[in-house]
């Protein structure tokens, strides 16, 4: 049995529904893919392929449900450029639809020197700020967002991501014994809400029939055994 952590049955069900949706949408694919760390991964999650209104709307619904179920307290949402911008906007819309209306903001990569100027767009950064992104590979985007939020006088409180790969991060070209998510939790003191994890993907694959799915499960499991982090 794959350990998916201490979550409610509803949260586990939400994660399984999300994995199924991501696979059916072609966002989560199987094969051989080279990661930023130079590893050959048997699966690839490309949030950029949530590329139409229906898929983006469903993705936002998963984020909102996961956040509301997590119990994380936040006053507004922030989307780091670039992928985080549409995510923050659509999640804010979905949260409002589900009865939790909060402001949102995002940053530009380059400061604007005309009009309102600056790098920040949207609501003023204040209170407890939730950062929304797709995945967390090295935690770089999270650190940059945290610095920006603190510089504005607000408090970065948590990060929401779609998928936690639960694998070792790399530092100076070497594997370390923690993941980017664990680094953000343990070293930066931030909460992290992931809609689904690698463990959820393994659980999904273990429940599928057919030689192809069994082979995918074996390869993903072998990858986790080699690069996975201790979740204890």
**Annotated catalytic residue within 109, 114, 208, 216:** 114
**Annotated catalytic residue within 109, 112, 168, 208:** 112
DSSP label at residue 167: B
The predicted pLDDT at position 93 comes to 98
Per cent of the chain over pLDDT 90 is 77
Distance CA 92, CA 104 (A): 7
CB distance 227 to 167 below 8 Å: yes
Residue 114 catalytic? yes
- 159, containing H or E segment: strand 155-164
Distance CA 145, CA 133 (A): 10
Buried b / exposed e over 75-101, threshold 16 CB at 10 Å, is: bbbbbbbebbbbbbbbbbebbeeeeee
User: Predicted confidence band at 36 (pLDDT cuts at 50, 70, 90)?
Assistant: confident
The greatest distance separating any two alpha carbons of the chain, rounded to the nearest whole angstrom, comes to 59
Residue 217 catalytic? no
Q: Is the pLDDT of residue 4 over 50?
A: no
Q: Where are the domains of the chain?
A: 9-227
CB distance 161 to 138 below 8 Å: no
In terms of Cα–Cα distance, which of 86, 80, 95, 94 is closest to 125? 80
User: Predicted confidence band at 137 (pLDDT cuts at 50, 70, 90)?
Assistant: confident
The predicted pLDDT at position 126 comes to 97
Q: Is the peptide bond before 182 cis (omega within 30 degrees of 0)?
A: no
Q: Is the pLDDT of residue 79 over 70?
A: yes
Averaged over 166-174, what is the pLDDT? 87
Strand-pair category, 104-112 with 118-122? antiparallel
Q: What CATH code would you report for 9-227? A: 3.40.50.2020
Averaged over 135-141, what is the pLDDT? 76
- pLDDT tens for 40-56 read 999 999 999 999 999 99
Residue 1, helix vs strand vs coil: coil
């Amino acid at each position: 049995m794959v350990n998916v952590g201490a979550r409610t049955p509803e949260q586990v069900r939400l994660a399984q529904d999300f994995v199924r949706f991501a696979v059916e949408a072609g966002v989560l694919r199987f094969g051989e893919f080279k990661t930023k760390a130079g590893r050959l991964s048997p699966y690839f999650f490309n949030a950029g392929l949530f590329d139409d209104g229906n898929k983006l709307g469903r993705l936002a619904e998963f984020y909102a449900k996961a956040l509301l179920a997590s119990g994380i307290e936040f006053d507004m949402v922030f989307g780091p450029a670039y992928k985080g911008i549409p995510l923050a906007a659509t999640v804010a819309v979905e949260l409002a639809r589900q009865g939790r209306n909060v402001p949102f903001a995002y940053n530009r990569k380059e400061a604007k020197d005309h009009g309102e100027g600056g790098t920040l767009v949207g609501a003023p950064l204040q209170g407890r700020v939730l950062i929304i992104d797709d995945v967390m590979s090295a935690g770089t985007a999270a650190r940059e967002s945290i610095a920006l939020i603190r510089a504005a006088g607000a408090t970065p409180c948590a990060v929401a991501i779609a998928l936690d790969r639960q694998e070792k991060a790399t530092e100076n070209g070497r594997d370390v014994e923690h993941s980017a998510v664990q680094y953000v939790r343990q070293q930066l003191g931030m909460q992290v809400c992931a809609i689904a994890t690698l463990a959820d993907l393994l659980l999904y694959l273990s429940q599928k029939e057919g030689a192809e799915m069994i082979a995918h499960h074996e390869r993903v499991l072998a990858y986790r055994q080699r690069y996975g982090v201790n979740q204890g």
